[in-house]
């Protein structure tokens, strides 16, 4: 099936027909609107009031390929190569995880407790695209932020985003499972490490399983807390007195994760869906 014409209206009709077996009507409407704006510059208002507007043949071809990608359940963020996160436009390659709304909540927890503080030393462990580190830098500009990741592609993506957003952070290629990966001491440690157990893969949608980097998502069933154990050890020497740790966690392992920080004042927080999703641990 081909798109009937290069009019916005016909592009949207084509998308609905091609994608109706995979996504809801509202999802399709939202995604195709974003794609048309991304490839042509026509915003949602212009698309709505002028549906007869035509797009360039070159843009029509891009939209056709994008709709085919959506039909294969490729995430729209990877199709566009970007996503919005905490008021920032974050570029994404397919070697880094797509930031979730829950991770924006994690940043929000930090902001609520620290927005009036200055000169903070903050570590983002497993930075991926740099979304958390850059969001914090944009909101707490006088802080010094270090972003760590073991993957070269993540380091390059974080650096690219930092330059593009004109936000100065320290970016280092380090293995956070090595407790001596840095000698710096921090007021805040934040991390959204891999925490989905291999046995939970069956619960994941194809758009995640087929496209997002498994190393950034999954951990072995028999050592599901490997990254949290490393963070707990790191905090013993590299978190300043009165410092805090903010973590995104597996809802099914909330208590077990919190127990790793038993020498600290620890609180489990729920996300907007009512799931145990975050831990805040305060060092005495």
Residues in CB range of 172: below 8 A, 6 or more apart? 146, 147, 148, 155, 181, 182
Distance from chain centroid for Cα 199 = 22
pLDDT at residue 248, rounded to an integer: 98
Q: Are 169 and 134 in contact (CB under 8 A)?
A: yes
Consecutive H or E run containing 88: strand 88-91
Euclidean distance between CA atoms 255 and 265, whole angstroms: 14
- pTM confidence score: 0.93
Mean pLDDT per block of 10 residues along the chain (284 residues) reads 88 95 95 96 94 94 96 97 96 94 96 88 97 97 96 96 98 91 95 95 90 94 96 96 97 97 95 96 95
- The CATH class given to the 82-282 domain equals alpha beta
Secondary structure E strands in 2-56: none
pLDDT at residue 252, rounded to an integer: 95
What are the structural domain ranges in the chain? 8-72, 82-282
Nearest to 73 by CA among 187, 169, 198, 208: 208
pLDDT at residue 115, rounded to an integer: 81
pLDDT at residue 118, rounded to an integer: 84
Residues in CB range of 11: below 8 A, 6 or more apart? 3, 32, 36, 55, 60, 63
Euclidean distance between CA atoms 174 and 181, whole angstroms: 6
């Amino acid at each position: 099936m081909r798109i009937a014409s290069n009019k916005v209206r016909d592009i949207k009709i084509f998308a609905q027909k091609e994608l109706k077996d995979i996504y809801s009507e509202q999802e399709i409407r939202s995604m195709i609107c974003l794609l048309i704006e991304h490839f042509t510059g026509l915003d949602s208002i212009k698309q709505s009031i002028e549906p007869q507007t035509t797009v360039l043949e070159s843009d029509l071809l891009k939209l056709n390929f994008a709709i085919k990608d959506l039909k294969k359940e490729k995430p729209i963020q990877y199709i566009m190569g970007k996503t919005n996160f905490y008021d920032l436009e974050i570029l994404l390659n397919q070697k880094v995880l797509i930031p979730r709304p829950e991770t924006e909540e994690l940043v929000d927890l930090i902001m609520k407790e620290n927005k009036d503080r200055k000169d903070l030393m903050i570590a983002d462990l497993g930075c991926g695209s740099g979304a958390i580190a850059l969001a914090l830098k944009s909101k707490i500009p006088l802080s010094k932020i270090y972003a760590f990741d073991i993957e070269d592609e993540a380091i390059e993506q974080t650096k690219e985003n930092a330059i593009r957003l004109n936000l100065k952070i320290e970016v280092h290629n380090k293995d956070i499972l090595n407790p001596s990966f840095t000698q710096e001491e921090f007021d805040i440690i934040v991390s959204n490490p891999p925490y989905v157990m291999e046995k939970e893969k069956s619960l994941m949608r194809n758009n995640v399983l087929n496209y997002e980097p498994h190393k950034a998502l999954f951990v072995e069933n028999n050592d599901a807390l490997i990254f949290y154990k490393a963070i707990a050890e790191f905090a013993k020497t590299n978190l300043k007195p009165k410092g805090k740790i903010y973590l995104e966690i597996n809802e099914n392992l909330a208590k077990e994760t919190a127990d790793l920080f038993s020498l600290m004042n620890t609180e489990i927080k729920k996300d907007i869906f009512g799931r145990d999703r975050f831990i805040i641990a305060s060092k005495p």
